[in-house]
Amino acid sequence: MTIKLLIPVCLSAAMLTSCSLAPRYERPMAPVATEWPTSAGIGPVPALEAAGEPHVADIGWRSMFTSPKLLSLIEAALANNRDLRIATLNIEAARNTYRIQRADLVPSVNASGSAIRQRLSENSSTSGTSETISSYTSGIGVTAYELDLFGRVRSLSTRALNQYLATEEGRKAAQTSLIAEVANAYLTYLADSELLQLTANTLKTQQESFDLIKRTFDLGAKSQLEVSQSGTLVETARANRAQYQRQVEKDKNALTLLVGKVIDPELLKPESLSSVQLMEVLPVGIPSTVLLDRPDVRKAEYALKAENANIGAARGAFFPSISLTGSAGFASSSLTNLFVTGSSSVWSFSPQVNLPIFQGERLISNLKLAKTNRDIAIAQYEKTIQTAFREVADALVASATYTEQLHAQQALVKSSEQAYTILKARYAHGIDSYFVLLDAQRSLYAAQQNEIMVRQQNLTNRIDLYKALGGGWK
């Protein structure tokens, strides 16, 4: 066998068609309803796909978030966040793992060359005298190439491919989560900043009121009870201010961790929650099958395909494996005559067949393990869909109620302000006691705090709905 014959033989072996013993993959039925639940006043919404509305997964995050500061923070996080960087590097690792596994489908051809020069003693020489001999070899060869007649190697390659694709979807899911986390962390920072400002203003007003009551008490016009009651408001506001100061700094630290670098102080100048711009309406009137486009769901499905392919590899291990090892080249005792075709050519060919006879239930248990892992992957895939369905359903229910709650809270603040103004005038004229005015102040302060928190929760829910429907990774 010459070198010219060795290469076609290897290529022909590599092109032998293998049968696949892996079960035919069929996507499990999604264990959720086809439409979103109609609860909390939410009625059935007609599908918007026919009207040309895009899926949420096709809406880029730049279209969802339009506030300049928030956009800058998200851009910085995508460029510097370490968790996302690790997810991206995991893709490279999975891609190279797949390429290594795929390389087993074709023979590995290696070129080799060697030179040996040695001196033989009189006792070891065949001529009875000491002599120096030389040996030169060169050639190409194939080592232990397995003919994939039963699809074992191809199944392992398919498994590695799906594991790589699952890792890539995992990076998309990580990006989606990162964008939502940055947006929500920024909203939390703005809300706490507003609460801090509200508390500071309240503390200033209550301190002025306390000082006035204290002076009138010193003149004998007020009681000690009124001084003590006014003091409770001052100290409560002072404690709240310290709490919100601490929380604002922690919010900055959380944002810095997500962004992955020191944040420009200009981006941390507080703005009003009402000025944060998000996409107003999301195309949610589409069937629940849109969840299949979520990166985490696609990741779970690729993991399922990988375990399905692994069953084929486990089945293929029951059958004989054929390995080919061969080489062809030249050998000569003289370097000048090494490549003389007729007298220096050498070759070797050593096929090997391995037939499993007794493995102590190793092969059977390995096949059972592969099937069990496939069943686990199915359950994980179905659970991922169910979790996604619940997230969307929860966000839809919240969307139908947060707007009403925010309007009611704003009306409550307005009514509390009016009540406080009236009671303050009545107290000044001696009609009502200071206890009544104190209660009105507490109610107004609580209503103002709740308005800020409800506004934040309303914006956060819209971000959660965007994420739950699969947006954010493009």
- Mean pLDDT in order along the chain per 10 residues (474 residues): 50 55 87 72 40 68 90 94 89 87 82 84 75 82 79 86 91 92 95 95 87 79 79 89 95 94 92 86 69 90 93 87 81 72 76 80 90 95 92 86 91 94 85 82 92 94 89 71
Assess if residue 474 is contained within a domain: no
Contacts of 136 (CB under 8 A, 6+ apart): 114, 115, 116, 331, 332, 333, 334, 335, 338
CATH number at residue 454: 1.20.1600.10
Assess if residue 196 is contained within a domain: yes
- Is residue 278 helix, strand or coil? strand
Instruction: Tokens 């075709």: give the residue.
Output: 341
Q: ∠358-359-360 over CA atoms, to 5°?
A: 100
pLDDT of residue 154: 85
Q: What is the dihedral of CA 153, 156, 161, 162, to 10 degrees?
A: 150
Beta strand residue intervals within 174-243, DSSP E: none
Domain span at residue 197 reads: 31-105+149-319+364-468
pLDDT of residue 46: 33
pLDDT of residue 341: 65
- The candidate with the shortest Cα–Cα distance to 356, out of 346, 367, 342, is 367
pLDDT of residue 42: 47
pLDDT of residue 289: 77
Q: Based on the fold, state whether residues 443 and 332 are members of the same structural domain.
A: no
**pTM summary value:** 0.81
Q: Based on the fold, state whether residues 37 and 155 are members of the same structural domain.
A: yes
Q: What are phi and psi of 25, to 5 degrees?
A: -80, 130
pLDDT of residue 50: 36
Instruction: Tokens 């809406």: give the residue.
Output: 59
C-alpha to C-alpha distance for 145 and 332, rounded to whole angstroms: 28
pLDDT of residue 285: 60
C-alpha to C-alpha distance for 444 and 30, rounded to whole angstroms: 49
Q: Based on the fold, state whether residues 305 and 368 are members of the same structural domain.
A: yes
